[in-house]
Structure 1
């Protein structure tokens, strides 16, 4: 039997967290065919103690809930963390009302077959006015006080805006107080290092317990297969990624493997990394990359370093750290952000 975890202590989240976004149809045409039971068993048997999902990820919560129920005898509820989200419903549909936040949390508990959630994020906060975000956070804080959730925080893409909100909550919102956690995605990978530039000071100025790094392949950008059609990046960045994949192939390397090792090495000892996998081979590859990085204390091989330096300077070049538009424009004044 796996060891138990303190349900409130997210500082003990495993270095890798099993993500649920790959259970959306955009990533897998038939999510129910993903061998999630076997993936969970292998993950939980090899050091991973947390999953991360969302109602926005299609059937992800229900699929996870059914799978977790099937392995409950081997892996009881108190041996892993469940992280999920609230607020994002569809691509262009959000509901940050207090009523929906509470409804969504209780629905997630039902889908995931649990009476509590270890961590709940507001999902992609850049798409709604800050005033709505603050109201939703107040309801999450209330749910935490009631014990239904153990930790709460927010997720999104623009690092500077996420940091601004967390700092504001700590300094100026006593009804909310310091948030517990943040999930940033696509901001610490082979193409974008913005999260690394913020991390240490961010934890301190917002009193965060955890910052997680998600989508280390930048939503399919950093792999040999074509970038998915829905990706919001510029055509220039998409072309750079294609060139990076060809360069890796010429050097007998898979771009995704190199990108995984790079992101894991850069975020090692900073916080968890959320990984999205669709089969056991992908999970094993991610665990192998982490083991290699961990064993070398984050120091990559000379060969990998040479490839990375060429890709970042010669292929991505001016597109290194390039971001894409995400969300609405937010006024500088919180009072005017309505």
Structure 2
């Protein structure tokens, strides 16, 4: 057990647990039938282990509805857990950051998730939208916070430098963001997020910086990378060769990458990781990785160095996203 879930009082976004259950896997991109996933038992078990936070989005297909239904079946009262969701991204190539849509999106999320308030709402994948539109959307989230419908607001996206630029502008024009979520930038293949952590906190006044997709949307594992992954074929090939070499030595890249992110991000920066798990075995494996790192069970330093050296020019390689 990581820590017992308790009533969140006094309320603080900084009390988010070290591992946050990501609802991106409760959709058709990651699962042929997301409705068949054991979400109620997964959430119940996660909360019992102290992982009392969920991250989702309207963009993740049925994820909000699946989570909302599951929350009606668990034994934990609403005041003991956090619900984080997003607004603005409608479809793969469709975004609506208008203030009217932001409000409607939040109201719809409240209904889907069967709650009277949301703990955190991000503007989703901001790199696809021009800065002025982002600021207007954040103004609406700020107003919704004042109204009590949401407790915190922030931004999510892939390009770390752009996230920083918007966070800095938001501080100057609206006030500091409560949270930032970046993905695939705080993992064994890409550590760019580490370089920006202090800047987000000191320059922008952000309360919490969260690290998502530490397995880089399925790329950092011995299994097949999902077809939708936007990385260059050369990068995916290089990672797969490393993964297969490790597998021949009875080492799973996904486990090594999970321990790396937990050690280098969670424990060094004391900030959370959004983790996509679709069943109890994956949840238990993630918690075990956390406990192994906490208890210094494994010294992965040599293996990590080997992997990052083998990546060569592909270390910290990124891919285009939106307008960046």
TM-score (ref. length: structure 1): 0.92
Change (3 A) 1:208 1:55: same
Of 7, 10, 13 in structure 1, the residue corresponding to residue 13 of structure 2 is 10
Change (3 A) 1:70 1:92: same
Q: Does 1:247 align with 2:215?
A: no
Tell me, what secondary structure is at the counterpart of 2:262?
Answer: helix
Counterpart for residue 114 of structure 1: 115
Cα deviation digits, residues 175-211 of structure 1 (max 9, x gap) = x211100001000101000001110222111101100
**1:1-338 pair list within 5 angstroms:** 2-6=5-9, 8-71=11-74, 74-171=75-172, 173=173, 176-269=174-267, 270=269, 271-296=271-296, 301-302=298-299, 304-314=300-310, 316-329=311-324
2:200, 2:209 within 8 Å by CA — same for their partners in 1?
Answer: no
Tell me, what secondary structure is at the counterpart of 1:268?
Answer: helix
1:24, 1:57 within 8 Å by CA — same for their partners in 2?
Answer: yes
Tell which deviates more after alignment, 144-153 or 266-275.
266-275
Tell which deviates more after alignment, 105-114 or 199-208.
199-208
Change (3 A) 1:123 1:7: farther
1:16, 1:274 within 8 Å by CA — same for their partners in 2?
Answer: yes
1:7, 1:150 within 8 Å by CA — same for their partners in 2?
Answer: no
2: distance between equivalents of 1:268 and 1:63?
Answer: 28
2: distance between equivalents of 1:113 and 1:62?
Answer: 9
1:184, 1:212 within 8 Å by CA — same for their partners in 2?
Answer: yes
Cα deviation digits, residues 55-81 of structure 1 (max 9, x gap) = 00000000000000111xx20000000
1:16, 1:273 within 8 Å by CA — same for their partners in 2?
Answer: yes
Structure 2 unaligned residues grouped into runs of 5+:
none
TM-score (ref. length: structure 2): 0.96
What is the RMSD of the two structures over their aligned residues, measured on CA atoms? 1.2
C-alpha deviation, 1:312, in angstroms: 0.7
Change (3 A) 1:135 1:26: same
1: distance between equivalents of 2:124 and 2:239?
Answer: 27
2: distance between equivalents of 1:7 and 1:131?
Answer: 34
C-alpha deviation, 1:7, in angstroms: 7.4
1:8, 1:151 within 8 Å by CA — same for their partners in 2?
Answer: no
2: distance between equivalents of 1:165 and 1:8?
Answer: 26
Tell me, what secondary structure is at the counterpart of 2:203?
Answer: helix
2: distance between equivalents of 1:137 and 1:255?
Answer: 38
Cα deviation digits, residues 101-160 of structure 1 (max 9, x gap) = 000000000000000000000000000111100000000000000000000000000000
Tell me, what secondary structure is at the counterpart of 2:155?
Answer: strand
2:209, 2:272 within 8 Å by CA — same for their partners in 1?
Answer: yes
Tell which deviates more after alignment, 156-165 or 249-258.
249-258
Tell me, what secondary structure is at the counterpart of 2:72?
Answer: helix
- Aligned residues between the structures: 319
2: distance between equivalents of 1:198 and 1:66?
Answer: 37
2: distance between equivalents of 1:167 and 1:7?
Answer: 28
